[in-house]
Amino acid sequence: MSPKDVSSGTARAKGWLTPGRVVVGVLVVLVIVFICVNTNKVTIRVLIPEVTMPLWFALLAMFLIGLGCGGYLFRRRGK
């Protein structure tokens, strides 16, 4: 019996709809709702200058930056 034939005995979800992806999808929807309901203008200090912009734009920018950083750090590397 080769090592490839041995199963670990753990049941994993197969296909594209896994529990982890469902949780991430729900979190993304909650973030989008949170961004949409915060539409006031805010003043943000970016190092030295102060920038006035809608809060939803600042939240969306931070979400996209976090998404990019997370994707870069946790991407799967092919062997």
Instruction: Quick: pLDDT tens for 14-28.
Output: 778 888 889 989 988
Alpha-carbon separation of residue 77 from 27, 70, 72 (angstroms): 25, 14, 10
Query: How many alpha carbons lie under 13 Å from residue 20 in its C-beta half-sphere?
Result: 5
State how far the Cα of 34 lies from the Cα of 17, in Å rounded to an integer: 24
Q: What share of the chain is helix, strand, coil (3-state, %, to 5)?
A: 55, 15, 35
Q: How does pLDDT run across 39-75, given as a tens digit for each residue?
A: 899 998 878 889 899 988 888 888 899 989 988 888 8
